[in-house]
């Protein structure tokens, strides 16, 4: 049985994708009991059993997807100590660092803890791993993300623009004020070009864990003038129930045939759909034993990356690569 904590947008998409992949039993839990029951009712049928239950019932499952707002580290620790595998959809930097620190506990319990199973981090790492085959060696990865999933994700986006960004730069962590470093990033259609800025996002931390060979990792998020201006204030208006079409853009730089080479790949879809599809694929991967024990990130060398990428594509997420023109 697979458990899902959180019956918001991402949790709902996780359940949807698990059912689509043939998972027979799913347990859903949320602080909002009505929301959990609604999800259970919507996806239960004669062949699939989706049950809404209390959080303590999660200890009886094989793997739990944490699709609730951060922090996840405390819940993950309890689950791992009880011998339950964990997939976390957290994209908060501090929470991600705390989750990666649970490596020893996960190994001791012989369980897998998948950290950052979302769009960014998550799909970004998977795309970097996929692009690696086109290079002799890679040394830079630059990620840009546009859009948010549900209200909690929007609040996280708002907070991220008010803090300090973190980036991996030539063997050291580089901290810069969030909202700085404007860069025009071209996302796949229908999103198109967006001004993106530094923000406190977890991708460099996760990428550095999964790809130690990278010397530079940056992540930027799209934001409007209003986002940047009001970042340090409480959210002036309540966030939308679901953001519009989001997008992810991954640029990898490295060496091929003794010369510098750049590859750009991306995807445009609803952020909750991307996150839910990837988290569901990770949960299935943990159940089937695809992940080794310990704290794992999507895209690292010991993860079932091809199977996860195929699951994401099968979920209807269209990958697009940027084909530019030669400067000569």
Partner 1 sequence: MKLFRRLLLVLSVASTVVGILRFGGSSKAKVTTKQGGWRSYSPPK
Nearer to partner 1, 171 or 324 (CB): 324
Closest CA to 167 of 223, 216, 117, 118: 216
Residue 189 as a binder of partner 1 (CB under 8 A): the answer is yes
Region from 65-73, 153-161, 217-225, 314-322 binding partner 1, contact rule CB under 8 A: 314-322
Task: List the structure tokens of 211.
Answer: 């790809």
Residue 130 as a binder of partner 1 (CB under 8 A): the answer is yes
Number of amino acids touching partner 1 (CB under 8 A): 17
Nearer to partner 1, 110 or 318 (CB): 318
Residue 213 as a binder of partner 1 (CB under 8 A): the answer is no
Nearer to partner 1, 64 or 309 (CB): 309
Q: Site for partner 1 (CB under 8 A): which residue of 172, 324, 327, 328?
A: 324
Q: Site for partner 1 (CB under 8 A): which residue of 58, 68, 219, 265?
A: 265
CB of 285 to partner 1, least distance (A): 16
Residue 134 as a binder of partner 1 (CB under 8 A): the answer is no
CB of 190 to partner 1, least distance (A): 11
Closest CA to 92 of 111, 118, 114, 113: 118
Question: CB–CB of 246/148 below 8 Å?
Answer: yes
Positions in 58-77 near partner 1 (CB under 8 A): none
Helix (H, G, I), strand (E, B) or coil at 8: coil
CA dist 9 and 69 (Å) reads 11
CA distances from 249 to 167, 184, 225, 236, 328 (A): 17, 12, 21, 29, 25
Task: List the structure tokens of 91.
Answer: 């994209």
Nearer to partner 1, 80 or 317 (CB): 317
Residue 310 as a binder of partner 1 (CB under 8 A): the answer is yes
Closest CA to 276 of 47, 10, 53: 10
Q: Site for partner 1 (CB under 8 A): which residue of 231, 309, 315, 317?
A: 309
**Helix boundaries (H) for 110-249:** 123-132, 151-160, 203-210, 225-229
Q: Site for partner 1 (CB under 8 A): which residue of 188, 204, 210, 276?
A: 188
Residue 313 as a binder of partner 1 (CB under 8 A): the answer is yes
CA dist 234 and 30 (Å) reads 25
Closest CA to 39 of 60, 68, 62, 61: 68
Residue 323 as a binder of partner 1 (CB under 8 A): the answer is yes
Residue 135 as a binder of partner 1 (CB under 8 A): the answer is no
CB of 246 to partner 1, least distance (A): 15
Positions in 266-305 near partner 1 (CB under 8 A): 266
Positions in 218-257 near partner 1 (CB under 8 A): none
Other Cβ atoms closer than 10 A to 213: 10
Report the Cα 248 to chain-centroid distance in Å. 11
Contacts 24+ apart (CB under 8 A), 256-263: 256/134, 256/135, 256/136, 257/136, 261/134, 261/135, 263/131, 263/134, 263/135, 263/321
CB of 111 to partner 1, least distance (A): 28
Summarize as ranges the residues that interact with partner 1 (CB under 8 A).
130, 188-189, 265-266, 306, 309-310, 313, 318-325
């Amino acid at each position: 049985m697979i458990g899902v904590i959180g019956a918001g947008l991402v949790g709902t998409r996780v359940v949807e994708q698990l059912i689509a992949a043939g998972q027979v039993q799913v347990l859903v839990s949320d602080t909002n009991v009505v929301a959990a029951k609604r999800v259970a009712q919507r996806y239960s049928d004669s062949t699939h059993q989706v049950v809404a239950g209390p959080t303590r019932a999660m200890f009886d499952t094989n793997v739990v997807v944490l699709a609730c707002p951060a922090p996840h580290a405390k819940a993950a620790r309890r689950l791992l100590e009880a011998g339950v595998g964990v997939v976390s959809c957290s994209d908060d930097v501090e929470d991600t660092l705390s989750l990666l620190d649970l490596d020893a506990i996960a190994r001791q319990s012989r369980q897998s803890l998948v950290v950052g199973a979302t769009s960014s981090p998550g799909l970004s790492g998977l795309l970097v791993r996929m692009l690696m085959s086109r290079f002799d060696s890679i040394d830079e990865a630059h990620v840009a993300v546009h859009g948010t999933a549900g209200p909690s994700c929007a609040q996280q986006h708002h907070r991220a623009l008010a803090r300090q960004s973190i980036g991996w730069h030539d063997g050291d962590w580089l901290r810069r004020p969030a909202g700085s470093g404007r860069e025009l990033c071209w996302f796949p259609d229908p999103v198109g070009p967006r001004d993106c800025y530094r923000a406190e996002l977890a991708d460099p931390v996760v990428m550095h864990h999964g790809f130690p060979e990278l010397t530079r990792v940056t992540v930027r998020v799209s934001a409007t003038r209003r986002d940047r201006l009001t970042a340090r204030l409480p959210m002036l208006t309540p966030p939308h129930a679901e953001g519009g079409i989001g997008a992810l853009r991954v640029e990898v730089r490295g060496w091929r045939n003794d010369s510098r080479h750049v590859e750009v790949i991306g995807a445009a879809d609803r952020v909750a759909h991307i996150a839910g599809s990837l988290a569901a694929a990770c949960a299935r991967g943990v159940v089937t034993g695809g992940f080794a024990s310990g704290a794992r990130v999507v895209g690292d060398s010991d993860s079932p990356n091809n199977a996860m990428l195929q699951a994401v594509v099968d979920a209807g997420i269209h990958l697009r690569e940027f084909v530019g023109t030669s400067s000569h």
